[in-house]
Each structure stands twice: as C-alpha cells, then as structure tokens.
A and B are shown apart, each in its own frame.
Chain A
Amino acid sequence: MSDGIRHEWPLFEVFVRAKRGLNHVHVGSLRAADHGMALQHARDLYTRRNEGVSIWVVRSDDVVASDPDDKAAYFEPSADKVYRHPTYYAIPESVPHI
C-alpha cells in the first residue's frame, strides 16, 4: 500500500431476525466501508443457510454498553423485587384462569 498503513473499514455489529415474531439477535460483526456494504456483507456472511428474514447492522463504535464494574449497582437492586414475579402471590388452586 502506498503509505504503508492499512486502511481499515469500520467494524459493524450484525443482528439477525430468524423468523417473524422473534427478536433480532446479535450474531457477530464484520467490516464494511459503509452501511450499505455492511448489509450486503451481513447477508452473505450470516445468512448463507436460511438464517433470517431481517438484518440490522450498527456501527460498533455507536454501541454504548454498561460497564461490568457497574453490574452490582445496575442489576442487583432488581433481584429482591420479588413482588414483580407472579409466583409471589398465593391464589387458591380452585380459582381458574389466573
């Protein structure tokens, strides 16, 4: 290459919806010069076997992630909110449809 530096395409994260009714799930990443190319590459790379009906691509540097160090502060406070779960409530067996 002319200036001895590799001109890398940016990294994109790829999400595929396997079939209607399901969430898009993260399947991996790839490199592309722009979003259009990223979609084509995602189609060629991640749906060779009938894997999906829809693809999202997102620039990896646009993803904002929670810090694992914040795990306790972020997620543990919800652990004791037992009243959010249906099994917390005692209903007699004889009551139907609830």
Chain B
Amino acid sequence: MTGEEIFADTIARDQRVEPRDWMPDGYRQTLIRQIAQHAHSEIIGMQPEGEWITRAPSLRRKAILLAKVQDEAGHGLYLYSAAETLGADRGDLTQRLIEGRQKYSSIFNYPTLSFADVGVIGWLVDGAAICNQVPLCRSSFGPYARAMIRICKEESFHQRQGYELLMTMMGGTPEQRDMVQDAVDRWWWPSLMMFGPPDADSPNSARSMAWKIKRHSNDELRQRFVDMSVPQAEALGVTLPDPELRWNAEREHYDFGTPDWSELQRVITGDGPLNRQRIARRRQADSDGAWVREAAAAYAEKQRSAGNGSGR
C-alpha cells in the first residue's frame, strides 16, 4: 500500500495516525493550526482567572485557583508538545500568537469583573471546553488524542471547583448571589459561542470530520452543552439569560435563542474588550524573559564545551 492508502485505511478503521506516518499536507496543516490555537487558548486563558489569584478571598480558594491556572500552563505545554510532533516549532507558534497571526479562543477576551466570574468560568467555560475536548480524546492524530486524554483527566476538577464556588456563593449574602447572577448573565452567550459558528457557516468542519480530527459538529456540541447546563442552572438557582430557552418535548432537547454572531465575529477579528491587553501581556512576558532564556542557553553551551557532559 502507498502512504496515502495506509493513511486512508488508518482513518477508515478508526486507528490513530502517528507523527512519522505519511499524511496529507492539508491534514498536517489543519492539525497544526487547530492544536496551536488550542494551546494558545490554554496560555491566554490563564490571564482572566490569573487576575484573581492574589485577591482570592480565602486561602483555600487561592490554592485551588493557583493550581488551576498552573494546570492551564501545563495543558498549553502538552498541546505545544503535540504540535511539535508535526514539525511545528513552539517558538514559531508563540511568535504567530503574539503577532496576531494565530487565534485563540475568543472567550478569553472578555473581562473577569468579580470573583463570581472565576466560578462561572469553571462551570460554563470549562464545561463548554470539556464538551469540545472529550470527543477530541478520540481524534485521529495520536499525540493530540493522548494529550487530550491527559488534559480531560486533569480538568475534571476545574468544572467542579467552579460549580462548588458558585453553590457556596449562592448560599452567602444577597450581594454574593447578585454577583453570581451577574456573572452568569455576562458569560452565558460567550460560552455558547465557544463552539464556533453554526454548521452552515463552518466550511472547514466537514473536512475535519472526514479526517476524524473533529468528531461532532459545532451545533451538535452546542446543543449538548445547553442540555447539560439547564438543569445545573436550576440546581444552582440562577436564571440563564435567554427568553427563548425551553424544553422541546418533540425534539427531546432544549430550544434556545441565537447568539449574536456579529459580536463573535468582531471579537475574533480583534475588537473584543481585551484582545489587545491579552496579547500585550503574553508579548511582554516573552520579551521580558528573552535574556533569561538566552542566559540559560549560553550557560548550557559553556558547560558542554567545558566537557561537563551535556550540561548535567
């Protein structure tokens, strides 16, 4: 069989493609783009919650949040790792991010205005991310699928800690309950948009599904997320800000309103509330750290040439 036939056969038999296997160039490029965007999202996603670590109102919440934001750095690294098996270079991907040539999830361009946002990000944003990510554990590209398994496993606490925080706050003062409802009002629609544009406007989706990089369509995942979230909102005692939201007995799914797709488009193209700040922070860290990275490389090189093995 030719490489191309082996590839087609591997996909057809639902087996994993591995880095050194032959693969179509489009498959490689699509994966690099998708995995890099996913990695960038983890890294930029540290910022909205990271803002609250130093201000967390209890030491327990502080530890939870620090561990969670740290996980996001780790998940970014797992994903950059997977992208590098395809021949991409992390430095180059970072450059593309800070030059605005590669995207990250638009959700992270919204501000975190109160500590309730930390809870709502865990519940809704991580909940939506889990809906997206669980099927990716079966993505056709081996290193991506394996990274996703590890990530999903570790993230299982992220959504729960968010929901638990919200439950605790709902049992607190009236002011705290208002904070939770306000955060839900602000994050609900952006969370729905995390699944991407409607299937009809998502031209690349079909190809990604054929290659089994993606396993479910945007609309299918969005529906699942709504169906999962409604009873959780009821248990919490908050209202989801959608007057059209109601159970449809015939479809056995919730009907829901249409997100403001023009807003999503504007946020994607750079006019979200915090696009510039998010990228600026990442760029600043990268450039502030340049002399440190150079020094470590120079030191390792000195050790090598001095015959100290490989810098051990």
Contacts and interface: CB of A to CB of B under 8 A. Distances in A.
Interface string A22-38: 00000111110111110
A89 B129 CA distance: 52
B3 interface: yes
A65 interface: yes
Contact of B20 (A1, A7, A28, A67): A67
A81 interface: no
B20 A68 contact: yes
Contacts of A67: 20
B279 interface: no
A34 B300 contact: yes
B33 to A, nearest CB: 20
Contact of A8 (B22, B91, B147, B312): B91
Interface string B294-309: 1011011001000001
Interface in B71-110: 71, 74, 77-78, 81-82, 84-85, 89-92, 94-95
A8 B71 contact: no
Nearest to A28: B81
Interface residues of A, number: 24
A30 B74 CA distance: 10
A11 interface: yes
Interface in A1-60: 1, 6-9, 11, 27-31, 33-37, 45, 48-49, 59
> DSSP class of B's interface residues: helix, strand, loop or mixed?
helix
A69 interface: yes
A35 B310 contact: yes
A1 B287 contact: yes
A49 B294 contact: no
B258 interface: no
Given A48-B71, A48-B74, A33 B297 contact: yes
A27 B309 CA distance: 25
A75 to B, nearest CB: 14
Given A30-B77, A35-B310, A49 B154 contact: yes
B312 A36 contact: yes
Nearest to B304: A34
6 contacts: A1-B287, A8-B89, A8-B91, A29-B85, A35-B309, A67-B20
Given A28-B78, A34-B296, 5 more contacts: A27-B150, A30-B77, A33-B296, A34-B303, A68-B21
- Pick the 6 closest A-B CB pairs, nearest first: A34-B311, A33-B296, A6-B91, A34-B300, A33-B300, A1-B290
